[in-house]
Amino acid sequence: MIKIAVLVSGSGSNLQALIDAKLSGQIVGVLSNRPDAYALERAKQAGIKTALVEHKQYPSREAFDDVMHQQLLDWGVNLVVLAGFMRILSEKFVKAWEGKMLNIHPSLLPYYKGMHTHQRVINTGDVYHGCTVHYVTAELDAGQALAQGILSVKRTDTVETLANRVHELEHLVYPQVVEWICTGAVQHLEDGSVLYRNSLLTEPVQFCKL
């Protein structure tokens, strides 16, 4: 069984979606860098182990990441899921978990890497927006995409309404991709490619919500 750790910094709505999905794998731990993250309470309510590693307590990003890395090893983790974890990870940490670490980004990558994606979509007048689940690599938001949730941008959308709609889509797409990995439907190969249902992915799987 795949053992999953979820890294969080905030309320943990994507964590809740993963818990509610009753995955084939087991969420063995939830780690946060913030003591006030409500995600820790969600984990406790679900009977999941938690760990608090406050980044402010460490002299460098690498030192902080080393402590996180050791905690993940102690939990026997096979898959790391970033769910609103608001820290840039060191290259050493990313390399250690490459092919075993996922993130969900609120845009249709490769468009709008980085921050403020909803505002940028509105500014540009895009017709479509969404989210992308991808493997984490040292280059920001550049790892292999596994799935994208797509929605139509409404004329009446604001940054807030668009963010809320994308967030709802994340709760559908993220658990599905994690479940694929838990069941072996998606596999990360040594050469960096992704095997999905016996065929190499050239494009991420797409989910649409109009």
SS3 55: helix
The enclosing H or E element of 147 equals strand 145-152
Nearest alpha carbon to residue 23 among 180, 188, 131 = 180
Strands 145-152 and 128-135: antiparallel
C-alpha distances (whole Å) from 194 to each of 40, 49, 62, 139, 197 are 32, 30, 28, 18, 10
118 as an active site residue: the answer is no
Catalytic pick among 105, 118, 129, 134: 105
C-alpha distances (whole Å) from 152 to each of 61, 97, 126, 130, 149 are 38, 34, 9, 8, 11
Which residues sit in the known binding site?
Answer: 12-14, 61, 86-89, 103
Strands 194-196 and 186-188: antiparallel
Number of residues that make up the chain: 210
Cα–Cα distance between 172 and 191 in angstroms, integer?
Answer: 29
Residues 6+ apart with CB under 8 A from 138: 91, 94, 95
Which residues sit in the known binding site for (6R)-10-formyltetrahydrofolate?
Answer: 61, 86-89, 103
Q: Catalogue the active-site residues.
A: 105
